[in-house]
Amino acid sequence: MAQGSTGSRWRTKWQQGKQRSRALLKQSVQNNHNRIVTCGLVVVLVYWITWLGMIWEAIAHGESTPLLNIGFIYLGLDALWRQRLQLATLSASEEDRLVGYLLILGGAAFFPFCLSSVSLQSLLCMIILLGMALSTWGVEFFKRNLLPIALLMVSIYPDLGFLANSLRKTLTGQQLEYSMAWLGGLALSAIGQPVTVEGSILSLSTTIEAKKAVEVASGCSGFDMAFVLAGVGLIMGLFFKRSWSKIAALVATGIALALIFNVPRIMLLSFAVVYWGKESFEFWHGGIGGQIFATILLTIYYYIAMAMLRK
DSSP for 11-53, written as a single string: HHHHHHHHHHHHHHHHHHTSSHHHHHHHHHHHHHHHHHHHHHH
Number of H helices, E strands in the chain: 14, 3
String of DSSP letters for 129-172 = HHHHHHHHH-HHHHHH-HHHHHHHHHHHSS-HHHHHHHHHHHHH
Which of 85, 73, 83, 52 lies closest to 239, judged by CA? 73
Q: Report percent pLDDT > 70 for the chain.
A: 86
pLDDT digits (tens, 9 = 90+) for 168-227: 988 988 899 889 888 988 888 888 878 888 888 887 765 444 567 777 887 788 898 999
pLDDT tens for 109-141 read: 999 999 899 999 999 999 999 999 999 999 999
The more confident residue out of 303 and 24 is 303
Query: ∠75-81-85 over CA atoms, to 5°?
Result: 150
Whole-number pLDDT of residue 126: 96
Average of per-residue pLDDT across 144-172:
92
What are the backbone dihedrals phi and psi of residue 132, each rounded to the nearest 5 degrees, phi first? -65, -45
By the 8 A CB rule, do 145 and 79 touch? yes
Q: Which amino acid is at 114?
A: C
Which pTM was predicted? 0.84
Structure letter (DSSP) for residue 311: -
Beta-strand pair 201-205/211-215: antiparallel
